[in-house]
Amino acid sequence: MKFLIVGLGNPGIEYSETRHNIGFKVLDALAGASNIIFSPGRLGDIAEIKHKGRTLVLVKPSTFMNLSGKAVNYWMQEEKIPVERTMIITDDLALPFGKMRIKGKGSDGGHNGLKSINATLNSQEYPRLRFGIGNNFGQGQQVDYVLGKWNEEELKTLDERIKIAAEATFSFTTAGLPRTMNMFNNR
């Protein structure tokens, strides 16, 4: 069985360690656990890993956040993977740092990557893992915060939280969405 796992972020070294690129970081952890590296592909960097009889197609879109839907739609069609076996991993300002929320549907919450996916798929019904980045910024500073680098306090537990997000992603492919939600939404 095949799954599409899309980590949202922006391409380029200047964005690599920013809060907005947490989706890329989780995919790097998934690939790294299997000693797999990403290769350039159409509309993104691609890696394929095997896990407990499942094939996971990992995609880090190269379309920039605002056009993420284009890459998601392309790879769903290319790999013939239905929406219910597609997981989007994204940052979320509404959640405290490191908290995760896994859902099977929902609004974009003002997130431009999810907005693009909703518009392209013409649906809000697709699994997503929202990784909390907190909202510790002043009025008018949201863009700087989201595109800013992790602070020292966040860096102390970031790797551990990314590892848990990777475990949740593997769980989605083996245990299914409802069970994964029950196991990981309060961790």
51: annotated active-site residue: no
Selected catalytic residue, list 20, 25, 60, 111 = 20
Statement: residue 98 has pLDDT above 90? yes
For residue range 28-75, what is the model confidence (pLDDT) as tens digits? 999 998 899 999 999 999 999 999 999 999 999 999 999 999 999 999
Terminal Cα distance for the chain, rounded: 27
| Cβ-based neighbour number of residue 55 at 10 Å | 15
Statement: residue 136 has pLDDT above 90? no
State the Cα–Cα distance between residues 136 and 154, nearest whole angstrom.
12
Domain boundaries, the chain: 2-184
Instruction: Tokens for 96, please give them.
Output: 């405290």
Pick the CATH number of 2-184 from 3.40.1390.10, 3.40.50.2300, 3.40.50.1470, 3.40.50.12140: 3.40.50.1470
Q: Looking up tokens 């499942």, which residue turns up?
A: 54
Q: What pLDDT, on a 0 to 100 scale, did the predictor assign at position 179?
A: 96
102: helix, strand or coil: strand
Instruction: Give the pairing of strands 54-61 and 128-132.
Output: unpaired
For residue range 137-172, what is the model confidence (pLDDT) as tens digits? 888 889 899 999 999 999 999 999 999 999 999 999
